[in-house]
Structure 1
Amino acid sequence: FMVAERIDVHTRSATPGQAAVLWSSTGDGGFTTCSSYRQTRGSRIELHLRDDAKEYLDRWKLQGIIKKYSDHVLYPIELAELGDDGTEKQAAQQVNSASAFWTRNPKELSDDDYQEFYAHVMGGFVLPSDKPLLRLHVSLDAPIQFKSVLFVPGQRPVDLFGDDAKHLQLYARRVLIMDNCDKLLPSYLRFFRGVVDSEDLPLNVSRELLQEHQALSAIRRQLTRKALGLLADTAKDDRSSYDKLWREFGVFLKEGLHTDNAHRDQLTELLRFDCTAEGGKLISLREYVDAMPEGQESIYYITGEALEDLSQSPHLEACRSRGYAVLLMTDAVDEWVVQDLDKYADKPLVNVTKGELELPAGEASLDDGGEIAALCTSAKQVLGERIKEVRASRRLTESSSCLVDDESGIGRNMERILRMAGRELPNKPRILELNPKHPFVRAAQTLALEHEGDPRLTLWVELLLDQAGLAEGTLSDPAGTVRRIQRLLDEVAGVAEGGSA
């Protein structure tokens, strides 16, 4: 009655001698019955359309509705156009395909068949080069009956975010009931495209009630298990395809580690990261641990915006000098991943930009940092509240200085992400670490010991802070840095001092 002011149903039983009956209702809660003119067995349903629903008399409108919602029902649906006298103005033509791709035996389907159906799932048109990375054809009868064909697109669709994001088409007994059902897979698997059809879902309930239907929950559990199994098999047997999938959709799988505790172990094994030791190749946590040299007890990582910047960070120097690989994390969600996954295979995950970096003895090892104690004290006096602490570094082997965060702090990268999301955060002073092996730092230490009050010490300390900020892209006073560099160059060239630091 959404479009009709009255519905008439003419029906006649197949039992010999039974009269035809007309059932009629206007949707007001009542109905009438009387004899019908129908001469043959079967039923005829007549909709007397409201004045504001005459558009449904249009042949193309009806054809579109049939193709969208009932194209795959088992029985043929024919569309005829009648004249005013009730005779056929145009011969009846079958509109629906009366077949469902997902019910066919996968062994009888070719790659071309799947490609054609993939194009249908993706909206009817894909480029010849746009082939799915993976496909999954499922047919289950217990504990819940459903059939499904899913695809992982070859590249990230533009509609993965927002209200217009497409998910999976849901059919009940081959009738489309939801064109975009987001309850069939968890959100982190939203890059899958395809159809799901079940005989166990009712046709006569609202979409809101259907979303909470027990059968739908059972389908979701089974489909999630199958989808994760497909990803795991691909990661194991086809590294090239999985690496390509990860580059396109890995960020979504990382979300799952934060939201899906039930599948945490499976998702952990699916994680891939860029790494300083792999030359552009992705690495799993298992591969990282298996390749750890003797003496390494932790999994080291660094987070930030750009891969190139991270790979050149001074924070990596001590790890590099020992042959320790460092995971490079550039997705915003990585900050939550490392909070949820604090260890793997009993190896803790350690951020190389936070806290005191405890490393086995090596090139960057220190006893207590006392060899530059005078410089650290003087530097703190020069920098004041801008810096929380100045200390000797255990992580630097080549650079003179770097900035680090407290072990318990949220970290500079997390601050950046939260500020981009609109959060207001106070500017907390950070820790300045100095490399006691660096010639410039040694010279500054000598100056602090032998020439207390020398104005050059202030300049040099400011430059050490400038260099640390420049290395990580957080230089707060570029113009001041340029002036200080010029003063240092003047000193080297023997030009008379002038200006202030």
Structure 2
Amino acid sequence: MTEKVQHETHGFQAEVKQLLQLMIHSLYSNKEIFLRELVSNAADAADKLRFKALSNADLYEGDGELNVRLSVNKDAGTLTVSDNGIGMSKEEVIKNLGTIAKSGTAEFFGKLSGDEAKDSSLIGQFGVGFYSAFIVADKVTVNTRAAGAKASEGVQWISAGEGEFAVADIEKQGRGTEIILHIKEEEKEFLDDWRLRSIITKYSDHISIPVELYKEEVPESEGPDGPDGEKIPAQSGVWETVNKATAMWTREKSDISDEEYTEFYKHVSRDYADPLSWSHNKVEGKTEYTSLLYIPSKAPFDLWNREQTSGLKLYVQRVFIMDDAEQFMPTYLRFVKGLLDSNDLPLNVSREILQDNKITQAIRQGCTKRILSMLEKMAKNDAQKYQAFYNEFGNVLKEGPAEDFANKEKIAGLLRFATTHNDGNEQTVSLAQYIERMPEGQETIYYVTADSYQAARTSPHLEVFRKKGREVLLLGERIDEWLMSHLNEFDGKTLKSAASASVDLSDLDDDETKKAKEDAEKAVEGLLVRMKAALGEKVSDVKFTHRLTDSPACIVATDDGMTTQMAKLMQSAGQAVPEPKYIFELNPEHDLVKIVSDVQDEEQFSQWTQVLYDQAALSEQGSLKEPASFVKNLNALLANLVR
């Protein structure tokens, strides 16, 4: 390294300035996590070198023994964390250490709760772990050189965390990165060997490369004579491996504690919360692989960002290949975290090769089956724990029936719903529970979709179901219409919308009820023809209905037509949707319908017809295409009443 270094000064990205201020002013209550983040980053750098060296072995520069090393200089008050991994170029240093590369800065700050213990652990999740160094250091120096670059292409980065950093070209013989932390006076505990060992053992025991700590040795027989003739001990030392330094997933399950599984999850996922469940499995046979799969307890902030890559870490014969290998897990299980280690894939495997590979397909099927089995077991043995999972990830699981035909029945069994038989809008009822409660003779599972659970619960389509004591599933999420368009049957029972034009519960009527319905229709005979003429092309048909008890009218889609919620779903996706034509259904037993039937003035009759239709449309759709027209007709009718 040259003695005199010319530095260039740069300003931090605005978000980094905010982040540094939070850290410097004790964002962390658990300050030791800074070391977990730095060691984890160093291990990642080693993994990246291994992967790139598959196609260019010269990157090892004759040194294939990868490690992370920690050393302390108590006199200088520094802690150094170094690795011989991939290293960085000058451009990469400025980009990676001057900005928050990962998207989601606003979400990061929005997640801060004021609870230091929780807030501190968010750092890794948002890809800003390096900056945690400033929690314990008032100055940080980074010396790095990219693997394969010349010694003269080393780079030095220095910052005191006060809004700017300096960068300079330096000589660096070895590849990799060296981070020198100038420890704050009040944080000198992190210069203690025992303290560092305990942190490494706690957080980094699972890392598959050695994490080494420098230990000084003072042999008594060596060294020169002192002024009084005594021997001065020679200072020397050795590197001691502190962690187990074996890939955790290769060990026997019985040898791995729950604490180790939990810490490993936090390493691979950068999540701050403990996982909800996990499965560690070794598959032998035609396809051999090891999987370690985790179900998180909390949904990540970017769960619904479809541009965000997600997937499992892929290793081949214990060599890291790629992050976020999405080919091994279906999209509806994108919340699953963990890794795969395959013995059958080639070391030079790429994303393109994985796309259409029989081994990939076999592993994907196996992992999917295992996750679904984990969820089934959880739902059966711990309903409260499963409900916590479903509250976080249920809407993602609803994508499954459309995506995974082979497992449609399994996925459907894992879904939970609010129903008319439950108080509140909690999604707690399974389809199996619904079937158990069905009265004898009922062969259909009924549901209703709407913009919200409250809108679904108050839908006029439910009136006859309440009267007859039939349970209906209440679906109030945008994804629900998409789900039900692909979920037509479960356990031999047909699923049908309560708003369907073909819904008919008349077989439950007694003779007296049937006679009353016939009489009601005769009393307003001729009404259908007049209303159809008044509405014209706006509707496909006008009919009487007995699905209503409190409402005068409703609109329903034809059995082959597009439903309201499906139209909204397509519109939200930017697709053009033709104007739907509904069937307008009238309740002949309702007093308002009887009054309208007696109106002889055709202008007033037309206004009443439009108002009844708009009311039904408002109840079904939540809004009107021409609200001003509805108000005008309503005002005209009100004016006639008060004259």
Distance 1:6 1:391 in 2: 77
Distance 1:94 1:207 in 2: 35
2:512 pairs with 1:396: no
Distance 1:8 1:111 in 2: 39
More relative contact order in 1 or in 2 (CA 8 Å, sep 6+)? 2
Note the 1:73-152 alignment, pairs <5 A: 76=210, 98-123=245-270, 126=272, 130-152=273-295
The equivalent of 2:177 in structure 1 is: 61
Q: Deviations over 1:6-29 (max 9, x none)?
A: 988699xxxxxxxxxxxxxxxxxx
Letter in 1 for 2:409: D
Change (3 A) 1:154 1:328: same
Distance 1:361 1:367 in 2: 15
Distance 1:395 1:241 in 2: 39
Which one is further off, 71-80 or 322-331?
A: 71-80
Q: Taking structure 2 as the reference length, what is the TM-score of the superposition?
A: 0.61
Q: Deviations over 1:364-404 (max 9, x none)?
A: 86449444332222222222222222221121111111111
The equivalent of 1:468 in structure 2 is: 616
Distance 1:441 1:300 in 2: 27
Shift of 1:486: 3.5
Change (3 A) 1:179 1:95: farther
Q: Deviations over 1:407-445 (max 9, x none)?
A: 110212111111222222221332211111111111222
Distance 2:634 2:206 in 1: 74
The equivalent of 1:34 in structure 2 is: none
Letter in 1 for 2:327: K
Letter in 2 for 1:411: T
The equivalent of 1:431 in structure 2 is: 583
1:310 pairs, out of 437, 450, 456, with 456
Shift of 1:91: 6.5
Distance 1:10 1:196 in 2: 27
Shift of 1:453: 3.1
Q: Deviations over 1:259-288 (max 9, x none)?
A: 222222222222222212122342222211
Distance 2:58 2:255 in 1: 47
The equivalent of 1:264 in structure 2 is: 408
- Cα RMSD over matched residues? 3.6
CA contact (8 A) 1:184 1:223 kept: yes
- 1:373 is paired with a residue whose SS is coil
- 1:432 is paired with a residue whose SS is strand
Letter in 1 for 2:618: L
The equivalent of 1:326 in structure 2 is: 472
CA contact (8 A) 2:151 2:173 kept: no
Distance 1:481 1:144 in 2: 65
2:429 pairs with 1:283: yes
Shift of 1:143: 4.1
Change (3 A) 1:5 1:479: same
Distance 2:451 2:384 in 1: 25
- 1:197 is paired with a residue whose SS is strand
Shift of 1:295: 4.0
The equivalent of 1:159 in structure 2 is: 302
Change (3 A) 1:57 1:253: farther
Shift of 1:99: 2.0
Letter in 2 for 1:310: A
2:631 pairs with 1:482: yes
2:322 pairs with 1:185: no
Shift of 1:313: 0.7
- 1:183 is paired with a residue whose SS is helix
CA contact (8 A) 1:3 1:49 kept: no
Shift of 1:153: 1.3
CA contact (8 A) 2:482 2:566 kept: no
1:453 pairs, out of 566, 576, 601, with 601
The equivalent of 2:13 in structure 1 is: none
2:520 pairs with 1:376: no
Change (3 A) 1:343 1:399: same
Letter in 1 for 2:247: A
Change (3 A) 1:94 1:385: same
Shift of 1:300: 1.1
Shift of 1:119: 1.6
Letter in 2 for 1:132: P
Letter in 2 for 1:361: L
- 1:165 is paired with a residue whose SS is coil
Shift of 1:251: 2.6
Change (3 A) 1:52 1:153: farther
Give unpaired runs (5+ residues) of structure 1. Answer: 12-46, 81-88, 497-501
Q: Deviations over 1:132-173 (max 9, x none)?
A: 222222233334333332211112112333343332111223
Letter in 2 for 1:460: W
Letter in 2 for 1:102: W
Change (3 A) 1:439 1:101: same
The equivalent of 2:391 in structure 1 is: 247
Change (3 A) 1:385 1:10: closer
Which one is further off, 51-60 or 145-154?
A: 51-60
2:447 pairs with 1:298: no
The equivalent of 2:93 in structure 1 is: none
2:507 pairs with 1:358: no
Letter in 1 for 2:387: D
- 1:150 is paired with a residue whose SS is strand
Give unpaired runs (5+ residues) of structure 2. Answer: 1-52, 65-146, 156-171, 180-199, 215-235
The equivalent of 2:563 in structure 1 is: 411
Distance 2:440 2:57 in 1: 78
Letter in 1 for 2:275: P
Letter in 1 for 2:413: E
The equivalent of 2:81 in structure 1 is: none
Letter in 1 for 2:504: E
Shift of 1:174: 2.5
Which has more helix, going by share of residues?
A: 2
The equivalent of 1:41 in structure 2 is: none
- 2:499 is paired with a residue whose SS is coil
Q: Deviations over 1:26-66 (max 9, x none)?
A: xxxxxxxxxxxxxxxxxxxxx86458965685665379xxx
The equivalent of 2:229 in structure 1 is: none
2:486 pairs with 1:337: no
Q: Deviations over 1:71-129 (max 9, x none)?
A: 9786748799xxxxxxxx99657598512222334344444333222221222x61xxx
Change (3 A) 1:285 1:205: closer
Distance 1:374 1:455 in 2: 17
Distance 1:175 1:95 in 2: 21
Q: Deviations over 1:193-243 (max 9, x none)?
A: 112223444324445335555443332222222111111111222222222
- 1:177 is paired with a residue whose SS is strand
What is the aligned length?
440
CA contact (8 A) 2:452 2:477 kept: no
CA contact (8 A) 2:448 2:472 kept: yes
Distance 2:61 2:635 in 1: 93
- 2:346 is paired with a residue whose SS is coil
Letter in 2 for 1:477: E
The equivalent of 2:67 in structure 1 is: none
CA contact (8 A) 1:5 1:49 kept: no
CA contact (8 A) 1:73 1:173 kept: no
Distance 1:3 1:138 in 2: 32
Shift of 1:338: 2.7
- 2:618 is paired with a residue whose SS is helix
1:174 pairs, out of 280, 294, 318, with 318
Letter in 2 for 1:378: R
Letter in 2 for 1:247: N
Distance 1:96 1:49 in 2: 30
